[in-house]
Amino acid sequence: MMDCKKIKKDLVAFLYGELREDEKELMKAHLDACPDCRKELQHMKEVIKGADSLQEDIEKAMASVDWEELPSRITEAVFEKEAPLPREPWLAGISRFFFQLKLKPVYAALLIGVLLGSIITFMVLRAPLPRETEAGEFFVSQDFLERVELEMARRDTLDYLEESQYLLLDFIQSPSEKSAEFWQSEFASRKARGLLAKKKYISPQLDKFKMAKAKAICDQIEYLFYELVQISAQLSEEEVSKIQNMIEEKKLLLKIKLLKKELEQSEV
């Protein structure tokens, strides 16, 4: 007669029909004689049955994923790392199932294995096979990566425009007699230099994705910040006032506002 320790170790293989015929017969004989092992087997069957009941929910959830929108969702998670993600109804149901069950470690491991197997199988069957290199490494599609990169460029540009807009508003609204000193203040100087550095970072992205309109406006902002930071100490009140008027006449703030709206509506 097989001992209970050996039986419990082979229960999963028994349930999935992976034992040899002689091992199956020994297992059945032991189960007929041992109520504890029968109880253990029944408990394991219930765990597997519970996992199978989630199969349909998992498939529905995976089918509901908007794979085209996924790059945008990824970047949202990057830019809003501290914001908690909303819990989907199907996920809440699965969570309740896990926490309501009081499982032994072996059963918990079995259940997790079944669920992961279901998810991976669904994804493999749903999606085309990934490209494999000679070294055996796998890569996601180039199109997907480019869309993620484009989305990052869009968001970086939006951030640059918004920060520039606020800084220019502060400059325009400051009194003429204090405007020359505005760019010499620690806040404005640090902010402007930070935006100049950010512009150097996003310029290659704007070129790569042929965002000519965005690049033209960003170039104007960059030039203006550069000049003001460099020569503001030598400017008279009259000259500063002319620069403020020039910004308004060229409708730079309006251009920034319209470009921001356009970029917000063109989410990848």
Q: Which of 79, 99, 126 is a domain's end point?
A: 126
Is 206 found in the same domain as 109? no
Q: What percent of the chain has pLDDT over 70?
A: 61
- Please, what is the average pLDDT of the chain? 74
One domain, residues 250 and 224? yes
188: which residues sit within 8 A by CB, 6+ positions away?
167, 170, 171, 182
At residue 159, the pLDDT reads 94
Within this chain, do residues 193 and 146 fall inside the same structural domain, yes or no?
yes
Domain that holds residue 50: 4-70+89-126
User: Is 78 part of a structural domain of the chain?
Assistant: no
81 part of a folded domain:
no
Same domain, 256 and 201: yes
Is the pLDDT at 31 greater than 70? The verdict is yes
Mean pLDDT of all residues in 23-34: 86
Q: Is residue 10 situated within a structural domain?
A: yes
Residue 249 has pLDDT above 70, yes or no: yes
Whether residues 101 and 146 share a domain: the answer is no
pLDDT confidence of residue 129: 44
Q: Are residues 121 and 153 in the same domain?
A: no
Q: Are residues 93 and 187 in the same domain?
A: no
- Could you tell me which of 27, 51, 175 has the C-alpha nearest to residue 101? 51
- The confidence band for 28, taking pLDDT boundaries of 50, 70 and 90, is confident
Number of domains comprising the chain: 2
β strands within the chain, DSSP E: 131-132, 138-139
- Specify the higher pLDDT residue, 55 or 16: 16
- Distances in Å between the Cα of 124 and the Cα atoms of 98, 110, 134 are 25, 21, 21
Confidence band for 227, pLDDT divided at 50, 70 and 90: confident
**pLDDT confidence bin for 156, thresholds 50/70/90:** very high
| pLDDT at residue 1, rounded to an integer | 46
Q: Specify if 176 maps to a domain.
A: yes
At residue 90 the predicted structure's pLDDT band, cuts being 50, 70 and 90, is very low
Q: Which amino acid is at 173?
A: Q
Co-location of 152 and 178 in the same domain: yes
pLDDT at 123 > cutoff 60: no
Q: Is residue 60 scored above 50 in pLDDT?
A: yes
Residues 147 and 121 reside in one and the same domain: no
174 domain-assigned:
yes
In a domain, 136, yes or no: no
Q: Are residues 256 and 153 in the same domain?
A: yes
34 domain residue, yes or no: yes
Residues 115 and 165 in one domain: no
Q: Which of 188, 181, 168 lies closest to 248 in space, CA to CA?
A: 168
With bands split at pLDDT 50, 70 and 90, how would you rate the model's confidence at 139?
low
Among the residue ranges 50-59, 183-192, 212-221, the one predicted with the least confidence is 50-59
The answer to whether residue 250 sits within a structural domain is: yes
My answer on whether 147 and 33 are in the same domain is no
Q: Please report, in angstroms and rounded to a whole number, the separation of the first and last CA atoms in the chain.
A: 65
The predicted pLDDT at position 243 comes to: 84
Task: Examine the pLDDT at 180 and tell me if it is beyond 60.
Answer: yes
Does residue 258 carry a pLDDT above 90?
yes
- CA 195, CA 221: separation in Å to the nearest integer? 9
Q: What is residue 84's DSSP assignment? A: P
Residue 162: is its pLDDT beyond 90? yes
